[in-house]
């Protein structure tokens, strides 16, 4: 029987996201007064030696190489899924049906059909008080939460434009190794699902509108890359004689979008923007104001208020989002000291644990994540037939 004061967590996946989530689970109760105390009970990976080493480093009590242990054990309350997209549906549905809360990394799945089944499982589980949340962590950036407040309060007036870019450069070198993120069977899509999904979610969440139509193009610039070997690791590059494998996903995506409230959207996502490390940007223009954000300056929000300012002093002003009145900030450092990427995952844990304890639905839930999946599918369909725009289908697949 579960201890009402504890939340016993199992995490599946020991890679990059697993490290970020582990840090968050450990850190959240040390800086925030949580209604439940998270316990890092079980870490699940594919390789026993690697998983045991990760557990020792990251603070997990026990390990397994079978994700089913996380679902069937009575001493697990929540399953955190940090695996490639092709495994999300099977793990999440099994966990929810077993009465476990679920946190699943984005994008929710590799297809709309899978995401629909996950959303249906989450709806069934909700009737029993079990919650599911998708890990769109950028929603927990204080500057973006402040921007959303400005939009919701009407400071921008009617929204007219949404511009979103997500620019990275880690694949500019054609000798960078072939990872699972470049395999459509595992990742579902490339840049579009990996980072473009963040832009889609942020744009819909900030604007309060849904994307209804898209016109898109996808591009793969490097069609073959060196296969991963002991000599060619994740952080290295291969020599001229390395064995090559096919890249089956997109390197870049660009599309225009029509929003439900009449706004026009322009989106760009690429892992080929030389010099751009993690430039996750969004700007929203309304009839009376604008907000603009760039994650490479994550503690800042640009804001323009066009309602009666002195014409001689009009223009964007920078808000340094580091003061106690700003979202989440009061729990961290003295004014002006700022936060980093890892804090977003801590905020995600805080919001999820709070929702579980209060019986509320966490955001974004699987239904919202399913909607992002439908937009991704519409972008792919439009890119496949560039002679037409593509409506976002919200019918059952």
User: Does residue 352 lie in a domain region?
Assistant: no
* pLDDT tens-digit readout, 43-85: 999 999 999 999 999 999 999 999 999 999 999 999 999 999 9
A 10 A CB-CB count for 387 gives 5
Q: Are residues 276 and 316 in the same domain?
A: yes
Helix runs in 62-218, H state only: 68-72, 88-97, 112-126, 142-152, 184-187, 191, 197-207
**Does residue 310 register a pLDDT over 80?**
no
Domain count, the chain: 2
**Does residue 388 register a pLDDT over 80?**
no
Q: Are residues 41 and 189 in the same domain?
A: no
Q: Are residues 184 and 308 in the same domain?
A: yes
User: Does residue 357 lie in a domain region?
Assistant: no
Expressed as residue numbers, the domain containing 314 is: 143-297+299-339
Q: What angle do CA 172, 178, 184 make, to 5 degrees?
A: 100
**Looking at residues 120-138, what average pLDDT do you find?**
98
Pairing type for strands 78-81 and 101-105 reads: parallel
* pLDDT tens-digit readout, 162-172: 999 999 999 99
* pLDDT tens-digit readout, 161-216: 999 999 999 999 999 999 999 999 999 999 999 999 999 999 999 999 999 999 99
Helix (H, G, I), strand (E, B) or coil at 390: strand
pLDDT of residue 233: 52
Pairing type for strands 264-270 and 252-259 reads: antiparallel
323 backbone dihedrals φ, ψ, rounded to 5°? -105, 155
User: Does residue 26 lie in a domain region?
Assistant: yes
Could you tell me if 367 and 122 are in contact, meaning their C-beta atoms sit under 8 angstroms apart?
A: yes
Q: Are residues 91 and 200 in the same domain?
A: no
270 backbone dihedrals φ, ψ, rounded to 5°? -155, 150
**Does residue 313 register a pLDDT over 90?**
no
Q: Are residues 188 and 332 in the same domain?
A: yes
d(CA 232, CA 193): 25
User: Does residue 359 lie in a domain region?
Assistant: no
Q: For the domain that residue 47 is a member of, what is the CATH number?
A: 3.40.50.720
d(CA 232, CA 175): 10
d(CA 334, CA 384): 51
Q: For the domain that residue 262 is a member of, what is the CATH number?
A: 3.30.360.10
Quick one: which of 310, 32, 259 has its CA closest to 151?
259
Beta strand extents in 197-341 (DSSP E only): 211-219, 224-226, 244-246, 252-259, 264-270, 279-286, 289-294, 300-305, 317-320
d(CA 15, CA 235): 13
Kindly write down the DSSP assignment for every residue of 165-204, as one continuous string: EEE--TT-STTS-B-GGG-HHHHSSSHIIIIIHHHHHHHH
* pLDDT tens-digit readout, 28-47: 999 999 999 999 999 999 99
User: Of all helices (H) and strands (E), which one includes residue 384?
Assistant: helix 366-384
Pairing type for strands 78-81 and 6-12 reads: parallel
Between the CA of residue 356 and those of 7, 349, 353, 367, what are the distances in Å? 9, 10, 5, 17
Which of 109, 138, 167 terminates a domain? The answer is 138
193 backbone dihedrals φ, ψ, rounded to 5°? -80, -30
300 backbone dihedrals φ, ψ, rounded to 5°? -125, 145
Q: Are residues 116 and 177 in the same domain?
A: no
| Residue 68 DSSP symbol | H
Q: Are residues 151 and 236 in the same domain?
A: yes
Q: What angle do CA 273, 233, 250 make, to 5 degrees?
A: 35
pLDDT band (50, 70, 90) for residue 396: confident
**Does residue 141 register a pLDDT over 60?**
yes
* pLDDT tens-digit readout, 224-280: 999 987 555 555 566 677 899 999 999 999 999 999 999 999 999 999 999 999 999
pLDDT of residue 287: 97
Could you tell me if 280 and 199 are in contact, meaning their C-beta atoms sit under 8 angstroms apart?
A: yes
pLDDT of residue 134: 98
pLDDT of residue 1: 42
User: Does residue 46 lie in a domain region?
Assistant: yes
Q: Are residues 259 and 212 in the same domain?
A: yes
pLDDT of residue 239: 63
d(CA 195, CA 330): 29
Q: Are residues 68 and 19 in the same domain?
A: yes
Average pLDDT along the chain: 95
User: Does residue 396 lie in a domain region?
Assistant: no
Pairing type for strands 289-294 and 101-105 reads: unpaired
Place of tokens 């942020």: 202
């Amino acid at each position: 029987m579960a201890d009402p004061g504890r939340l016993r967590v199992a995490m599946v996946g020991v890679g990059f996201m697993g490290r970020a989530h582990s840090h968050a689970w450990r850190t959240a109760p040390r800086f925030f007064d949580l209604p439940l105390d998270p316990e890092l009970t079980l870490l699940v990976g594919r390789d026993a030696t690697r998983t045991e080493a990760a557990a020792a480093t990251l603070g997990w009590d026990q390990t397994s190489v079978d994700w089913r242990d996380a679902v069937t054990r009575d001493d697990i309350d929540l399953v955190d899924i940090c695996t490639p997209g092709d495994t999300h549906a099977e793990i999440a549905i099994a966990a929810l049906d077993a009465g476990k809360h679920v946190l699943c990394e984005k994008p929710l799945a590799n297809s709309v059909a899978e995401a629909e089944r996950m959303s249906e499982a989450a709806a069934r589980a909700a009737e029993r008080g079990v919650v599911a949340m998708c890990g769109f962590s950028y929603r927990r950036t204080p500057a973006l939460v402040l921007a959303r407040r400005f939009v919701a309060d009407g400071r921008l007036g009617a929204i007219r434009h949404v511009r979103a870019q997500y620019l990275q450069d880690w694949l500019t070198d054609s000798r960078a190794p072939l990872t699972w993120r470049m395999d459509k069977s595992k990742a579902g899509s490339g840049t579009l699902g990996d980072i473009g999904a963040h832009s889609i979610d942020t744009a819909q969440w900030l604007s309060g509108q849904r994307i209804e139509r898209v016109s898109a193009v996808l591009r793969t610039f490097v069609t073959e890359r060196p296969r991963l070997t002991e000599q060619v690791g994740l952080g290295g590059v291969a020599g001229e004689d390395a064995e090559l494998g096919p890249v089956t996903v997109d390197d870049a995506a660009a599309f225009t979008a029509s929003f439900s409230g009449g706004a026009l959207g322009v989106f760009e996502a690429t892992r080929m923007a030389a010099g751009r490390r993690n430039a996750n940007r969004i700007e929203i223009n309304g009839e009376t104001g604008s907000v603009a954000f760039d994650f490479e300056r994550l503690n800042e929000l640009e804001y323009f208020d066009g309602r009666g300012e002195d014409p001689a002093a009009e223009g964007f002003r920078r808000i340094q989002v580091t003061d106690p009145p700003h979202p989440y900030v009061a729990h961290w450092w003295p004014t002006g000291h700022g936060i980093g990427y890892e804090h977003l995952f801590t905020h995600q844990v805080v919001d999820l644990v709070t929702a579980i304890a209060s019986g509320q639905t966490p955001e974004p839930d699987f239904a919202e994540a399913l909607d992002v999946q439908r937009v991704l599918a519409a972008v792919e369909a439009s890119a496949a037939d560039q002679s037409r725009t593509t409506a976002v289908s919200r019918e059952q697949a």
